[in-house]
């Protein structure tokens, strides 16, 4: 894709506000990141400093920890690389468009559970993990 994939961790103080959608619903669709996204029952609605999106229930449970009443911090590392060219990445919610220079981010070391972020946003939220060789 681009530069080598590295391990990162969330910077301190980068909590999100989130609520789980425990409603009798079939879920809903919404447009974001250049394509239609899909929220399922039990997924989480996340407010990340004004950026609103949903996170798959199993992914949220595995990667976030409570930090206060209704606030959470991503506690697990991510692996990321800089995209060499424009494209789309398949996420659990739908497809997300990225531009050359954006970060392709993965919740799994082998490249699974992908999403993308602008370079400025990623570098403000994440820092290299010092345990990465």
Q: What residue segments make up the domains of the chain, in order of their start?
A: 6-128
Instruction: Look at residues 55, 48, 108, 46 and name the one whose alpha carbon lies nearest to residue 77.
Output: 108
Length of the chain: 133
pLDDT tens for 47-91 read: 999 999 999 999 999 999 999 999 999 999 999 999 999 999 999
What pTM, to 2 d.p., does this model score?
0.85
Q: Which residues contact 76 (CB under 8 A, 6 or more apart)?
A: 62, 63, 107
pLDDT of residue 2 exceeding 90, the answer is no
Other Cβ atoms within 10 Å of 79 Cβ, number: 20
Give residue-wise pLDDT tens across range 17-38: 999 999 999 999 999 988 999 9
Quick count: other Cβ atoms within 10 Å of Cβ 105?
21
Whether pLDDT at 40 is above 90: yes
């Amino acid at each position: 894709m681009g530069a080598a994939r590295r391990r990162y961790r969330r910077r301190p103080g980068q909590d999100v506000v989130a609520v789980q959608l425990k409603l009798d619903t079939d879920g809903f669709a919404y447009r974001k990141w250049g394509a239609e996204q899909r929220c399922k029952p039990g997924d989480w609605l996340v407010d990340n400093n004004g950026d609103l999106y949903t996170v798959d229930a199993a992914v949220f449970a595995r990667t976030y920890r409570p930090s206060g009443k209704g606030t959470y911090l991503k506690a697990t590392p991510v692996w990321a690389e800089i995209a060499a060219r424009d494209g789309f990445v398949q996420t659990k919610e739908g497809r997300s468009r990225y531009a050359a220079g954006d970060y392709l981010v993965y919740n799994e070391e082998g490249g699974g559970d992908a999403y993308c972020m602008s370079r400025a946003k990623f570098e403000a939220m994440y820092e290299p993990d010092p345990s990465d060789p």
